[in-house]
Amino acid sequence: MAHPLIRVEVKSQFLPDQSELERKVYAFTYTITLHNVGSIAAQLISRHWVIEDALGRRHEVRGLGAGGHQPLIAPGEMYRYINNCSLGTDSGTVHGSYFFVTEDGERFDVPIPMFVLDVNGDELTQARVLH
């Protein structure tokens, strides 16, 4: 039996030129890379994100695909996309999950490990993942 396995990598960056600090709008970008390290192709069907600022204000996002696509990722391949979000504080956390279906019909969820968005974070380095 083939085994699905998707590894999630996240890199984030603060966007000072798109932020409005006097209005407490802090813009961030993050790059998601999904690596298929399993033995069967799997299609990303939907996503669920939970975004929380430093004051505990929470925003959930659900939708089809990711980055506007529902890619079929073959074993050994990857899919990468970039997205943006803004917070009302200078830091926050993001986590969630992706829903996949393998080419033989097996359904599975892939957790998105919690990572930190922070104005003092390193530019486009591996995001701090909270365990």
Give domain status of residue 42, yes or no: yes
Give domain status of residue 127, yes or no: no
Give domain status of residue 105, yes or no: yes
Separation of alpha carbons 88 and 120, rounded Å: 15
* Cross-sheet strand order for the sheet of 78-87: 78-87, 26-36, 6-14, 125-126
pLDDT digits (tens, 9 = 90+) for 98-131: 999 999 999 999 999 999 999 997 544 444 444 3
Give domain status of residue 14, yes or no: yes
Give domain status of residue 15, yes or no: yes
- Give the structural domain span for 90: 6-117
Give domain status of residue 98, yes or no: yes
How many residues are there in the chain? 131
Sign of CA dihedral 8, 119, 84, 82: negative
Sites in the chain below the pLDDT cut of 50: 123-131
Q: How many domains does the chain have?
A: 1
Separation of alpha carbons 23 and 17, rounded Å: 14
CATH of residue 54: 2.60.40.1470
| Terminal C-alpha separation, the chain | 30
pTM for this prediction? 0.87
Separation of alpha carbons 73 and 96, rounded Å: 20
Give domain status of residue 99, yes or no: yes
